[in-house]
Amino acid sequence: MEVSVLEENKKQNVLSLSIKGSTPAFVNALRRTIVDEVPTMAIDTVEFQQNSSILYDEMVAHRLGLVPLKTDLKSYSMPDEQSEDGEFRAQFHVKLHLKSKNVGDVLSGEMKSDDPKIVPVFDNLPIVRLAKGKDNQELEFTAVAKLGKGKQHMKWAPGHVTFKYQPKVDVSKVSDNAEDVAKSCPVNVLVHKSGKLSVDPKKENDCTLCGACVDVSEGVAKLNESNTDFIFNVESWGQLKPTEMVSQAIDIFDKKLDDFAETLKA
DSSP-assigned states of every residue in 135-188: S---EEEEEEEEEE-TTT-GGG--EEEEEEEEEEEEE-SB-TTHHHHHHH-TT-
Q: Mean of the per-residue pLDDT values for the chain?
A: 90
pLDDT of 161 reads 97
In contact, 242 and 234? CB cutoff 8 Å: yes
pLDDT of 69 reads 98
Cα–Cα distance measured from residue 104 to residue 138, given in angstroms and rounded to the nearest whole number:
11
pLDDT of 78 reads 82
Q: Residue 187: is it exposed, middle or buried by C-beta count within 10 angstroms (0-12/13-18/19+)?
A: middle
Read off the pLDDT of residues 173-194 as tens digits, 9 standing for 90 and up: 666 777 888 888 898 888 888 7
Pick the residue with more confidence: 126 or 86?
Answer: 126
Read off the pLDDT of residues 9-50 as tens digits, 9 standing for 90 and up: 988 999 999 999 999 999 999 999 999 999 999 999 999 999
Q: Is the dihedral of CA 104, 66, 116, 159 positive or negative?
A: negative
Mean pLDDT, to the nearest integer, of 139-152? 96
H helices of the chain, in order, are 24-37, 57-65, 178-184, 212-217, 242-265
Cα–Cα distance measured from residue 15 to residue 198, given in angstroms and rounded to the nearest whole number:
27
pLDDT of 59 reads 97
pLDDT of 86 reads 46
Read off the pLDDT of residues 77-121 as tens digits, 9 standing for 90 and up: 887 665 554 454 557 889 999 999 999 999 999 999 999 999 999
Read off the pLDDT of residues 201-237 as tens digits, 9 standing for 90 and up: 888 888 888 888 888 877 778 888 898 999 999 999 9
pLDDT of 173 reads 64
The answer for residues whose C-beta is within 8 angstroms of residue 121's C-beta and 6 or more apart is 67, 68, 69, 70, 237, 238, 239
Query: Does 266 score more than 70 pLDDT?
Result: yes
What's the angle, vertex CA 112, arms to CA 106 and CA 118, rounded to 5? 115
* CA nearest neighbour of 187 among 162, 169, 161: 169
Q: Which long-range contacts (CB under 8 A, 24 or more apart) does 5-10 make?
A: 6/205, 6/231, 8/242, 8/243, 10/241
Distances (CA, A) of 128 to 84, 98, 145: 44, 12, 19
pLDDT of 81 reads 61
pLDDT of 219 reads 77
Cα–Cα distance measured from residue 241 to residue 228, given in angstroms and rounded to the nearest whole number:
27
Largest Cα–Cα separation, the chain: 78
Q: Which long-range contacts (CB under 8 A, 24 or more apart) does 56-60 make?
A: 60/127, 60/128, 60/139, 60/141
10 Å Cβ neighbour count for 112? 12
Q: Give pTM, 2 decimals.
A: 0.85
pLDDT of 22 reads 95
Instruction: Give all domains of the chain, ordered by start, each with its CATH number.
Output: 2-36+160-233 (3.30.1360.10), 40-154 (2.170.120.12)
Q: Residue 74: is it exposed, middle or buried by C-beta count within 10 angstroms (0-12/13-18/19+)?
A: exposed
In contact, 28 and 163? CB cutoff 8 Å: yes
Cα–Cα distance measured from residue 156 to residue 240, given in angstroms and rounded to the nearest whole number:
11
Cα–Cα distance measured from residue 89 to residue 73, given in angstroms and rounded to the nearest whole number:
11
pLDDT of 3 reads 93
